[in-house]
Amino acid sequence: MRFQFILSEIGIGLRRNLSMTVSVILVTFVSLTFVGAAVLTQIQITKLKGEWYDKVEISVFLCPQGSTKPTCAEGEATEDQIGAIGALLEQPDVASEIQDVTFETKEQAWVLFSKDYSDRWWFSALTEDDMNASFRIKLTDPEQYQVINDVLSGRPGVEEVRDQRQIFEPLFLVLNRATLLSAGLAAVMLLAAVLLITTTIRLSALSRKRETGIMRLVGASNFFIQLPFMLEGAIAATVGALLSMGGLWLGVKFLIEDWLGQSVQWIPYITTSDVWVIAPILVGVAFLLAAISSIVTLSRYTKV
């Protein structure tokens, strides 16, 4: 009997405040979509870093002919200079940071360069002598680039020490800023959702003030009186969360997997399974919104 009564009260409250309930659902949907987008963007960044940082190398370019760098004052890197650099990389305090070292000659560099750029109009102006011999160093921890840079930069025969992470950092910066933007918009929309849910519960409580007064007189507890109002907010917020999950799933399915995934296939993208991973977070946030709104409102507006 009590369960049926609670269900009937919830139905009455939702019907009386239908427009406000729809507004709560829509605002919750939009706000949780921003929350989900921020989380998914961060997952995407983590996937990119995990994929690309594992492949990042440090390139130690040796002096070619005609370089104007002070460390290349003696001309092209000599065998002695190359041997000294190799010996430095084998020292225990440096070798412990290195996973693998490959030496690339000018001839090998020219072959790779020709393969990639032979169709460019300016290719005919270059020769093998313009190439740099180099050491390609793969670190056990890509974040420890500075260790190798400090050891090799400025040494005779070394023209430049280049960290390939610099290629990816601008992309990660853009993605991180997109995450912050999504999080900021989500915070504003979540605040709006709390205010709307609070208003909906308040209007519902005021419209049924006579009923709650009678329930109080017959000895109903505060929890029993307040439960229908709490469930109304929870239902509206949960529907918004479900719509948000559906919207994110469709976005990832059609925009990421079917469009970007088919266009650029070498990037590890987020998938629809990632949406299901964050789904409990969205539902949890929805219940949190309803709980906060209920606490703020019911202690005041269900008093008789």
Q: What integer pLDDT is reported at residue 215 of this predicted model?
A: 52
Write the DSSP string, 156-190. TTEEEEEETHHHHHHHHHHHHHHHHHHHHHHHHHH
Contact 276, 295 (CB under 8 A): no
Contact 213, 225 (CB under 8 A): no
Residues 6+ apart with CB under 8 A from 172: 45, 48, 49
Q: What integer pLDDT is reported at residue 15 of this predicted model?
A: 60
Task: Return per-residue pLDDT of the chain as tens, 304 residues.
Answer: 455 544 555 555 556 556 667 777 787 888 888 888 888 888 888 787 766 666 677 888 888 888 888 888 888 888 888 888 888 888 888 888 888 888 888 888 888 888 878 887 888 888 888 888 888 888 887 777 777 888 888 888 888 888 777 766 776 777 778 778 877 877 787 777 777 777 766 766 565 556 555 555 555 555 555 566 667 777 778 888 899 999 999 999 998 888 887 876 667 788 899 999 999 988 888 888 777 776 666 555 445 4
Q: Judging by beta carbons within 10 Å of its beta carbon (0-12, 13-18, 19+), is residue 47 exposed, middle or buried?
A: middle
Write out the CATH class of domain 58-163.
Answer: alpha beta
CA gap 136, 101 in Å, rounded: 6
CA gap 172, 177 in Å, rounded: 8
CA gap 215, 304 in Å, rounded: 10
pTM above 0.85, yes or no: no
Q: What integer pLDDT is reported at residue 161 of this predicted model?
A: 86
Residues 6+ apart with CB under 8 A from 158: 60, 61, 62, 63, 71, 77, 85, 152
Q: In degrees rounded to 5, what are phi and psi of residue 174? A: -60, -45
Residue ranges, CATH 3.30.70.3040, the chain:
58-163
